[in-house]
Amino acid sequence: MDVEPTLTPPGPAPVKKSDLPVRIVSAVIMLAIAGTALWFGGVVLDLFVAVVAFGVFVEYVRLASKFAENPARLASMVISGAIYIGWGALALVVMPEALLIATMGLVICTDTGAYFTGRAIGGPKIAPRISPSKTWSGLAGGMAAAGVWAAVVVLTAGYLLSAIGPTGPSLGAAIEVANVGVAAIAGAVLAVFAQVGDFFESWLKRRAGVKDSSRLIPGHGGLFDRVDGLLPVAIIVGTSWAATQAGL
Protein backbone atom coordinates (compact mmCIF):
# COMPACT_ATOMS: atom_id res chain seq x y z
CA MET A 1 0.00 0.00 0.00
CA ASP A 2 1.35 3.38 -1.02
CA VAL A 3 1.62 5.94 1.72
CA GLU A 4 1.03 9.50 0.69
CA PRO A 5 3.82 11.78 1.83
CA THR A 6 2.98 14.22 4.54
CA LEU A 7 3.10 17.75 3.26
CA THR A 8 4.53 20.27 5.66
CA PRO A 9 2.73 23.59 5.40
CA PRO A 10 5.05 26.38 4.40
CA GLY A 11 6.20 28.50 7.27
CA PRO A 12 5.87 32.25 7.43
CA ALA A 13 8.06 34.22 5.06
CA PRO A 14 11.19 35.50 6.74
CA VAL A 15 10.85 39.06 7.90
CA LYS A 16 13.37 41.34 6.29
CA LYS A 17 15.34 43.16 8.93
CA SER A 18 15.05 46.91 8.64
CA ASP A 19 18.28 48.83 8.11
CA LEU A 20 16.74 52.01 9.51
CA PRO A 21 18.74 51.95 12.79
CA VAL A 22 21.98 51.55 10.83
CA ARG A 23 20.99 54.35 8.47
CA ILE A 24 20.18 56.66 11.38
CA VAL A 25 23.47 55.96 13.17
CA SER A 26 25.43 56.47 9.95
CA ALA A 27 23.57 59.72 9.24
CA VAL A 28 24.29 61.04 12.73
CA ILE A 29 27.99 60.23 12.35
CA MET A 30 28.14 61.86 8.90
CA LEU A 31 26.40 64.99 10.19
CA ALA A 32 28.74 65.14 13.19
CA ILE A 33 31.84 64.94 10.99
CA ALA A 34 30.53 67.48 8.47
CA GLY A 35 29.31 69.75 11.26
CA THR A 36 32.71 69.65 12.96
CA ALA A 37 34.43 70.60 9.71
CA LEU A 38 32.00 73.49 9.24
CA TRP A 39 32.51 74.60 12.84
CA PHE A 40 36.28 74.86 12.46
CA GLY A 41 36.06 76.18 8.90
CA GLY A 42 39.15 77.38 7.08
CA VAL A 43 41.80 74.78 6.36
CA VAL A 44 39.92 72.04 8.22
CA LEU A 45 36.84 72.53 6.06
CA ASP A 46 38.94 72.67 2.89
CA LEU A 47 40.70 69.42 3.82
CA PHE A 48 37.37 67.78 4.57
CA VAL A 49 36.02 68.76 1.14
CA ALA A 50 39.23 67.54 -0.50
CA VAL A 51 39.11 64.15 1.25
CA VAL A 52 35.45 63.63 0.33
CA ALA A 53 36.13 64.67 -3.26
CA PHE A 54 39.01 62.21 -3.52
CA GLY A 55 36.81 59.43 -2.16
CA VAL A 56 34.07 60.30 -4.66
CA PHE A 57 36.61 60.27 -7.50
CA VAL A 58 37.87 56.81 -6.48
CA GLU A 59 34.29 55.49 -6.48
CA TYR A 60 33.65 57.13 -9.86
CA VAL A 61 36.72 55.48 -11.38
CA ARG A 62 35.67 52.10 -10.00
CA LEU A 63 32.24 52.48 -11.60
CA ALA A 64 33.67 53.61 -14.94
CA SER A 65 36.18 50.76 -15.02
CA LYS A 66 33.35 48.22 -14.85
CA PHE A 67 31.88 49.15 -18.22
CA ALA A 68 34.47 51.14 -20.19
CA GLU A 69 34.93 49.30 -23.48
CA ASN A 70 38.64 50.00 -23.82
CA PRO A 71 41.52 51.88 -22.13
CA ALA A 72 40.96 54.98 -24.27
CA ARG A 73 37.31 55.17 -23.21
CA LEU A 74 38.26 54.67 -19.57
CA ALA A 75 40.92 57.39 -19.79
CA SER A 76 38.43 59.88 -21.24
CA MET A 77 35.92 59.05 -18.51
CA VAL A 78 38.56 59.42 -15.80
CA ILE A 79 39.60 62.83 -17.14
CA SER A 80 36.01 64.07 -17.45
CA GLY A 81 35.22 62.72 -13.97
CA ALA A 82 38.24 64.46 -12.48
CA ILE A 83 37.09 67.76 -14.01
CA TYR A 84 33.49 67.27 -12.86
CA ILE A 85 34.28 66.24 -9.29
CA GLY A 86 37.24 68.59 -8.92
CA TRP A 87 35.21 71.54 -10.18
CA GLY A 88 32.45 70.75 -7.69
CA ALA A 89 34.94 70.49 -4.82
CA LEU A 90 36.68 73.74 -5.80
CA ALA A 91 33.31 75.49 -6.02
CA LEU A 92 32.50 74.39 -2.46
CA VAL A 93 35.88 75.63 -1.23
CA VAL A 94 35.58 79.12 -2.73
CA MET A 95 32.08 79.69 -1.35
CA PRO A 96 31.55 81.58 1.90
CA GLU A 97 30.49 79.15 4.61
CA ALA A 98 26.99 80.65 4.76
CA LEU A 99 26.52 80.04 1.05
CA LEU A 100 27.92 76.52 1.43
CA ILE A 101 25.34 75.74 4.11
CA ALA A 102 22.57 77.26 1.98
CA THR A 103 23.65 75.16 -1.02
CA MET A 104 23.75 71.94 0.97
CA GLY A 105 20.38 72.77 2.51
CA LEU A 106 18.88 73.28 -0.94
CA VAL A 107 20.04 69.85 -2.12
CA ILE A 108 18.74 68.22 1.07
CA CYS A 109 15.36 69.94 0.60
CA THR A 110 15.28 68.77 -3.02
CA ASP A 111 15.91 65.15 -2.07
CA THR A 112 13.47 65.26 0.84
CA GLY A 113 10.70 66.97 -1.12
CA ALA A 114 11.15 64.60 -4.07
CA TYR A 115 11.15 61.52 -1.85
CA PHE A 116 7.98 62.28 0.12
CA THR A 117 6.05 63.77 -2.81
CA GLY A 118 6.97 60.87 -5.05
CA ARG A 119 5.87 58.33 -2.46
CA ALA A 120 2.64 60.15 -1.69
CA ILE A 121 1.55 60.89 -5.26
CA GLY A 122 3.50 58.51 -7.48
CA GLY A 123 2.63 58.72 -11.15
CA PRO A 124 4.69 58.49 -14.33
CA LYS A 125 8.40 57.76 -14.06
CA ILE A 126 10.95 60.19 -15.48
CA ALA A 127 13.48 57.64 -16.72
CA PRO A 128 12.59 54.16 -15.42
CA ARG A 129 15.54 52.47 -17.14
CA ILE A 130 17.97 54.70 -15.26
CA SER A 131 16.23 55.31 -11.93
CA PRO A 132 12.96 53.40 -11.52
CA SER A 133 11.91 55.28 -8.38
CA LYS A 134 12.09 58.82 -9.78
CA THR A 135 8.71 60.31 -10.75
CA TRP A 136 7.63 63.60 -12.26
CA SER A 137 5.59 64.32 -9.13
CA GLY A 138 8.70 63.78 -7.04
CA LEU A 139 10.63 66.21 -9.20
CA ALA A 140 7.87 68.79 -8.76
CA GLY A 141 7.93 68.25 -5.00
CA GLY A 142 11.70 68.63 -4.90
CA MET A 143 11.51 71.84 -6.94
CA ALA A 144 8.85 73.25 -4.62
CA ALA A 145 10.84 72.40 -1.49
CA ALA A 146 14.03 73.89 -2.95
CA GLY A 147 12.15 77.02 -4.01
CA VAL A 148 10.77 77.51 -0.49
CA TRP A 149 14.23 76.95 0.99
CA ALA A 150 15.86 79.50 -1.31
CA ALA A 151 13.13 82.05 -0.57
CA VAL A 152 13.53 81.57 3.19
CA VAL A 153 17.33 81.87 2.95
CA VAL A 154 17.13 85.13 0.97
CA LEU A 155 14.45 86.54 3.26
CA THR A 156 16.52 85.64 6.33
CA ALA A 157 19.59 87.28 4.83
CA GLY A 158 17.55 90.40 4.12
CA TYR A 159 16.29 90.43 7.70
CA LEU A 160 19.81 90.16 9.09
CA LEU A 161 21.01 92.95 6.79
CA SER A 162 18.13 95.18 7.92
CA ALA A 163 19.48 94.93 11.46
CA ILE A 164 22.44 97.05 10.38
CA GLY A 165 20.15 99.99 9.60
CA PRO A 166 19.12 102.70 12.04
CA THR A 167 15.66 101.20 12.64
CA GLY A 168 16.96 97.76 13.55
CA PRO A 169 15.77 94.41 12.21
CA SER A 170 12.56 94.69 10.22
CA LEU A 171 10.67 92.04 8.30
CA GLY A 172 9.13 94.70 6.08
CA ALA A 173 12.56 96.07 5.17
CA ALA A 174 13.75 92.51 4.52
CA ILE A 175 10.89 91.90 2.10
CA GLU A 176 11.73 95.12 0.27
CA VAL A 177 15.40 94.20 -0.06
CA ALA A 178 15.07 90.46 -0.73
CA ASN A 179 13.71 89.38 -4.09
CA VAL A 180 11.89 86.34 -2.76
CA GLY A 181 10.23 85.45 -6.06
CA VAL A 182 13.48 85.32 -8.00
CA ALA A 183 15.08 83.30 -5.20
CA ALA A 184 12.25 80.76 -5.29
CA ILE A 185 12.56 80.36 -9.06
CA ALA A 186 16.34 80.01 -8.80
CA GLY A 187 15.94 77.38 -6.10
CA ALA A 188 13.48 75.39 -8.22
CA VAL A 189 15.83 75.50 -11.22
CA LEU A 190 18.78 74.36 -9.10
CA ALA A 191 16.64 71.47 -7.88
CA VAL A 192 16.40 70.26 -11.48
CA PHE A 193 20.20 70.24 -11.74
CA ALA A 194 20.41 68.36 -8.43
CA GLN A 195 18.16 65.68 -9.92
CA VAL A 196 20.29 65.63 -13.08
CA GLY A 197 23.32 64.86 -10.92
CA ASP A 198 21.35 62.11 -9.24
CA PHE A 199 20.38 60.62 -12.61
CA PHE A 200 23.97 60.80 -13.84
CA GLU A 201 25.22 58.71 -10.95
CA SER A 202 22.28 56.31 -11.33
CA TRP A 203 23.22 55.88 -14.99
CA LEU A 204 26.80 55.08 -14.03
CA LYS A 205 25.63 52.49 -11.49
CA ARG A 206 23.24 50.93 -14.02
CA ARG A 207 26.03 50.59 -16.56
CA ALA A 208 28.33 49.15 -13.89
CA GLY A 209 25.64 46.75 -12.64
CA VAL A 210 25.82 47.83 -8.99
CA LYS A 211 23.32 49.25 -6.49
CA ASP A 212 25.66 51.62 -4.64
CA SER A 213 28.87 53.39 -5.55
CA SER A 214 30.55 51.58 -2.64
CA ARG A 215 29.83 50.11 0.80
CA LEU A 216 31.79 52.74 2.70
CA ILE A 217 28.81 54.13 4.64
CA PRO A 218 26.61 51.44 6.25
CA GLY A 219 23.02 51.82 5.07
CA HIS A 220 23.86 54.68 2.73
CA GLY A 221 26.22 53.25 0.13
CA GLY A 222 29.19 55.34 -0.88
CA LEU A 223 30.29 58.96 -0.82
CA PHE A 224 29.20 59.45 -4.43
CA ASP A 225 25.69 58.33 -3.44
CA ARG A 226 25.57 61.13 -0.88
CA VAL A 227 26.84 64.01 -3.02
CA ASP A 228 25.59 63.12 -6.50
CA GLY A 229 23.03 65.93 -6.46
CA LEU A 230 25.32 68.37 -4.67
CA LEU A 231 28.05 68.40 -7.32
CA PRO A 232 26.19 70.13 -10.19
CA VAL A 233 24.49 72.58 -7.83
CA ALA A 234 27.83 73.45 -6.22
CA ILE A 235 29.39 74.00 -9.64
CA ILE A 236 26.62 76.43 -10.64
CA VAL A 237 26.45 78.30 -7.33
CA GLY A 238 30.20 78.40 -6.67
CA THR A 239 31.09 79.46 -10.22
CA SER A 240 28.41 82.15 -10.16
CA TRP A 241 29.73 83.42 -6.83
CA ALA A 242 33.32 83.51 -8.08
CA ALA A 243 32.28 85.29 -11.26
CA THR A 244 30.37 87.89 -9.26
CA GLN A 245 33.36 88.52 -7.00
CA ALA A 246 35.58 88.90 -10.07
CA GLY A 247 33.17 91.46 -11.52
CA LEU A 248 32.24 89.30 -14.51
DSSP of the chain, one letter per residue? ---PPPPPPPPPPPPPPP-HHHHHHHHHHHHHHHHHHHHH-HHHHHHHHHHHHHHHHHHHHHHHHHH-SSHHHHHHHHHHHHHHHHHHHHHHHHS-HHHHHHHHHHHHHHHHHHHHHHHHH--SBS-TTT-TT-BHHHHHHHHHHHHHHHHHHHHHHHHHHHTTSTT---HHHHHHHS-HHHHHHHHHHHHHHHHHHHHHHHHHHHHHT-SSS-SSBTTTB-HHHHHTTHHHHHHHHHHHHHHHHTT-
Total domains in the fold of the chain: 1
pLDDT tens-place string over residues 132-159: 889 999 999 999 999 999 999 988 887 7
Please state the pTM of the whole predicted model.
0.86
1, pLDDT greater than 50: no
Asked, for residue 187, whether it belongs to a domain, the answer is yes
4, pLDDT greater than 80: no
pLDDT at 173: 61
39 is in which domain, residue-wise?
23-245
pLDDT at 31: 85
pLDDT at 208: 94
Asked, for residue 137, whether it belongs to a domain, the answer is yes
pLDDT at 246: 84
Asked, for residue 9, whether it belongs to a domain, the answer is no
Asked, for residue 32, whether it belongs to a domain, the answer is yes
pLDDT at 180: 86
pLDDT at 116: 93
The region of weakest confidence among 39-48, 63-72, 73-82, 214-223 is 214-223
Asked, for residue 181, whether it belongs to a domain, the answer is yes
pLDDT at 148: 96
